[in-house]
């Protein structure tokens, strides 16, 4: 009876570790990091574009380059986050070890 309980406890622990591993894989997905950074920097550069002086715009031949660059960065970041939302990370496959108990 105690052997059955230890196998059950081991299976529960394996399931818990697999869940934590899948959560960590989704949390540190590179698309989330890149998308988040591009959104953050895009907002910062857009704010700089809204506060640009006429002299700054004249230096760039009449184009508010900070505003357009910030908008492009914001769109790119949102596309990365949309990609993450539409195609989430698949959980890792369970290990195929002969010593792993099966149910």
Check whether 103 has a pLDDT greater than 60.
no
Pair of tokens at residue 102 = 């099966």
**Boundaries of every domain in the chain:** 2-86
Strands (E), the chain: none
Q: How high is the pLDDT of residue 1?
A: 46
Instruction: State how far the Cα of 101 lies from the Cα of 103, in Å rounded to an integer.
Output: 7
Global pTM?
A: 0.66
DSSP state of 87: S
Q: How high is the pLDDT of residue 22?
A: 62
Q: How high is the pLDDT of residue 16?
A: 74
Mind listing the pLDDT tens digit for each residue in 1-43? 445 567 777 777 777 766 666 666 666 788 999 999 999 999 9
Question: Does residue 15 sit in helix, strand or coil?
Answer: helix
88 band by pLDDT with thresholds 50, 70 and 90: confident
Contact 70, 40 (CB under 8 A): no
CB neighbours (10 Å) of residue 38?
Answer: 20
């Amino acid at each position: 009876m105690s052997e059955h309980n230890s196998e059950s406890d081991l299976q529960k622990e394996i399931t818990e570790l697999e869940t934590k591993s899948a959560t960590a894989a989704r949390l540190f997905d590179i698309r989330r990091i890149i998308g988040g950074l591009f959104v953050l920097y895009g907002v910062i550069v857009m704010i700089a574009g809204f506060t640009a002086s006429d002299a700054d715009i004249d230096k760039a031949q009449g184009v508010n380059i900070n505003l357009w660059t910030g908008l492009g960065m914001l769109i790119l970041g949102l596309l990365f986050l949309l990609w993450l939302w539409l195609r989430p990370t698949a959980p890792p496959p369970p290990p195929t070890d002969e010593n792993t108990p099966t149910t």
